[in-house]
Amino acid sequence: MKHFFLHNLSLKIVSLGLAVITWIYVNGEILKHR
């Protein structure tokens, strides 16, 4: 299980960061249009 989380860790962190940024941006846009 530990290997599952630690494998390709940097890519996982980058993906999570991108997901958070995208979510914030898209939600901001949705709120703007409401």
Partner 1 sequence: MTFFIWSIVKPVIEILVLAIVFYRILVFFQGTRAFQVLKGMTYLLIAFLVSQLFGLDTLNWLLTKVFAISILAFVIIFQQELRQGLARLGRGSMFSPTLEESEVIALVDEITDAFFKLSEKMTGGLIGIEREAKLKTYIESGIQLDSLISSELIQTIFKHDSPMHDGGLILRGQRIVAASCLFPLSENQNLSKIIGTRHRAALGLTEQTDAVTVMVSEETGEISVACDGKFIPVTGRERLQEILKDLLIVQPKSDEEKTK
Q: Which residues are near partner 1 by CB under 8 A?
A: 1-4, 7-8, 11-12, 14-16, 18-23, 25
- Report in angstroms how near the CB of residue 14 gets to partner 1 at its nearest: 7
- Report in angstroms how near the CB of residue 19 gets to partner 1 at its nearest: 4
Residue with tokens 């939600």: 27
Q: How far is CA 22 from CA 4, 7, 8, 15, in A?
A: 25, 24, 21, 10
Task: Compare residues 19 and 31 and give the one whose CB is closer to partner 1.
Answer: 19
Rg over alpha carbons for the chain, rounded to the nearest Å, is 14
- Report in angstroms how near the CB of residue 34 gets to partner 1 at its nearest: 16
